[in-house]
Structure 1
């Protein structure tokens, strides 16, 4: 049985918190300005069932957060354990997130990738995303 066959994608639960944050750190997804524990708590307030983890036994090996405010869907924190990258798990997680967004009537998904993360950009392009001519702006409403 391959790794992808033994991995179950399911909604996040509170017992996953430490492992999820460790995975995000291993994947380079955390930033000093964002407290990952606060990001988890915030997500659990809005569509918590769209915060998915990939579990191999008791080990968390992937995550994705999906969101939808009625206009566009968003993907955040897609991460796959470094040892399992390029094995199809990122694609599986995105397929699961997209299915939830489609079921909610979402017409389009947006996501943000840092310009120097060429590996992630190439991955998203392989699964049908395209770089758009938009500039991302942000404003912190709460300091972490």
Structure 2
């Protein structure tokens, strides 16, 4: 089996949205309190964020939401279709996200991984990411009550 990452990467298009949402759901990235369509629309609104789509053989095989706040870059919804795993596509989509930020002058990339997701933590360790000693706080600004277990 060829393990070279043959991934054509581009920004998301309108036609890609349903397939990207399906990919995120298939990869277990969506949560009831987050609307992936709204997250995609928000990321596409400005010049400081986008969703990168990786295609292998014409089919969507990977994605990453990438953006910056003017100081640090952030990556969310990193996904590789389960049928395409083991071919370094995760490494390729992350390299594309890093390049996207680098070309915009962003020097530091941040990302969050759920504490119990040890497999993904190991992936980022292999890419030379380091655990930061930080506490992440959150607050819903749209009037929602805190999600159980998240306060």
Check whether TM > 0.5: yes
User: What are the ranges of 5 or more consecutive residues in structure 1 without an aligned counterpart?
Assistant: none
Number of corresponding residues = 144
2:62 aligned residue: 62
Q: Is the 8 A contact 1:43 1:51 kept in 2?
A: yes
TM norm structure 2: 0.87
Shift of 1:60: 1.2
Superposed CA deviations along residues 123-144 of structure 1, whole A, max 9, x for unmatched, are: 0111010111111111122369
Shift of 1:4: 4.6
1:108 aligned residue: 108
CA distance in 2, matches of 1:33, 1:129: 28
> More helix per residue: 1 or 2?
1
Pick closer, same or farther for the CA change 1:140–1:37 going to 2, 3 Å: same
2:141 aligned residue: 141
User: What are the ranges of 5 or more consecutive residues in structure 2 without an aligned counterpart?
Assistant: 145-151
CA distance in 1, matches of 2:83, 2:123: 16
CA distance in 2, matches of 1:141, 1:78: 25
Superposed CA deviations along residues 18-61 of structure 1, whole A, max 9, x for unmatched, are: 11011001101000000001001101112377311011344211
Pick closer, same or farther for the CA change 1:125–1:44 going to 2, 3 Å: same
1:17 aligned residue: 17
TM norm structure 1: 0.91
Q: Is the 8 A contact 1:33 1:143 kept in 2?
A: no
Larger radius of gyration: 2
Moved more, 27-36 or 53-62: 53-62
